[in-house]
Amino acid sequence: MSMEIPYETPGVETGIAFADAPVASATAGASLAERIDPYWASVWATGSQASWLSADQARRQVASGLGRLPNHLDVDEAPALEATLAPRNWGKRLNALSVLDSWRTVTGEQMAAITGDAELATGKSDTMSNLFGAGVADVGIFTNGLYNTRDTARATLYRPSRSTAFAQDIEPHLTYPEWVSVTGGHGWESGSQFDRHNLLATELGLRVAEMCEIGAVVGEKLSTWDLLAHTGAGFPAASGVKRAADATLIRTDGARVAVEITATSGPNFDGKVRRWAELLSNRRMADTGLVVMFVLAPQPDKRVRPGEMLTMVRKNIAAATRDYPGVSFDRVASRMFVANWQDWFPAPHRVDPSFFSLDAWRATGPADDLWERASVLDPFDTPFEPSDVPAAEAVLNNIAAIRSVPSWLRSGSPRELWPSAVKALGYSGIPVPAPSDSEGASKRPLGAAVGSASAAQPPIRLRARAA
């Protein structure tokens, strides 16, 4: 293997313009071609973290005379909470909460694209203003030395606030199906707040959903090792340190592509690669449908040579797959991929056709030509013959109940959860009032179908399908 992989900085005309690319869905003001490019826009000049403000911090600083809030964020806690819990546009706020919980850090444009709520892309939506005022969401900005413009608000960032506001003020008002639709049934979380890393993971997940043939994409919240390779795959619960991929891409056949985004290589990254190799060596593809793809995303304006980084990462993967080879019919090397962000997206708002099939590299060739190109999405390149087909595909139905999944991918038929909720109250079904008169017993049951009308459905807030 050569010491370094040659890497040429692509020109601006390389690839296809986003505006000309085939896109599955688009939200006004938050389309693929309209969104800020979090990789190429040079918004990380001062590092990989944004500047953040919680409602509590804001009120303390204002009280100390250190500044003032913009009008759209100047909302007191009580009215903000009241507006958040109001019935009108309730679903929009649940959608926003779920995106925060699953993807951790997002721009308003990304949240708008995922939910289909165009107002979120403006950076001044009532939804996020009230979630901020209620102490549920923090608001962030990219830091630079430029004056604000009329479009600056479009770069507004959001993340879940490190507070008890959701647990104390929001969660008690959710029905059980609503709670599952927001959290995936795993509780509200506010950790793993790494701004550049999370924004790139969200953007990559969105672009896959928009431009690739895919069943679903989910964020870090639903990409834990426990869900991918332990209890979620019918094995004992994971023990020890809780680990998760940055996102998971779910193919139409149920195969799972765990995505790990990295801006650097080194001992920590090498350790992560080895842990993935060990995990895959102990889990058959037929049982989990699990592969992992490392996406290299060094800052383009830093002195990091992509070729050098790719060479090092390839060495890490090759060594790990030698130490944890798997079995002859299920080689770990065939399930570990590496791709470079700049290969897929060679310039601002441009995409290479190789992204449409998620072409990447894996160490499955002969010793003198180890690295082979293969498609992560192609079932011939990366086959998946599940030992339990219904179980593998069930996720595509169940995912329709999760609001953090891009709206156009929530097309399945999830299992209804309301029977569990009413059973917990001591009922076998939705309670029906007794007949009010002596003839009532002979009349049709309340809610039964009449003519061309179907039978009455459970209340909207008890239905599993996320709206």
Question: What band does 7 get if pLDDT is binned at 50, 70 and 90?
Answer: very low
pLDDT in tens, 227-243: 999 999 999 998 887 89
Query: What's the Cα-to-Cα distance from 39 to each of 195, 277, 346, 412, rounded to whole Å?
Result: 12, 28, 10, 32
Question: What band does 10 get if pLDDT is binned at 50, 70 and 90?
Answer: very low
| Mean pLDDT over each residue of the chain, to the nearest integer | 89
**Statement: residue 441 has pLDDT above 60:** no
**Statement: residue 6 has pLDDT above 60:** no
DSSP 385: -
227 vs 224: CA distance, rounded Å = 5
Residue that wins the pLDDT comparison between 227 and 8: 227
* pLDDT given at position 435: 63
Per domain, the residue ranges of the chain are 1-22+194-415, 50-192
118 vs 109: CA distance, rounded Å = 8
424 vs 418: CA distance, rounded Å = 10
Assess contact for 253 and 382: CB atoms under 8 A.
no
Which helix (H) or strand (E) is 274 found in, with range?
A: helix 267-281
Query: What's the Cα-to-Cα distance from 309 to each of 182, 276, 295, 351, rounded to whole Å?
Result: 37, 19, 11, 21
Assess contact for 257 and 248: CB atoms under 8 A.
yes
Lowest-pLDDT choice from 132-146, 155-169, 174-188: 132-146
Q: What is the pTM of this model?
A: 0.90
464 vs 381: CA distance, rounded Å = 35
Lowest-pLDDT choice from 45-54, 145-154, 292-301: 145-154
pLDDT in tens, 333-376: 999 999 999 999 999 999 999 999 999 999 999 999 999 999 99
Assess contact for 76 and 222: CB atoms under 8 A.
no
Assess contact for 78 and 144: CB atoms under 8 A.
no
Assess contact for 257 and 251: CB atoms under 8 A.
yes
pLDDT in tens, 53-83: 999 998 999 889 888 888 899 999 999 999 9
pLDDT in tens, 86-97: 999 999 999 999
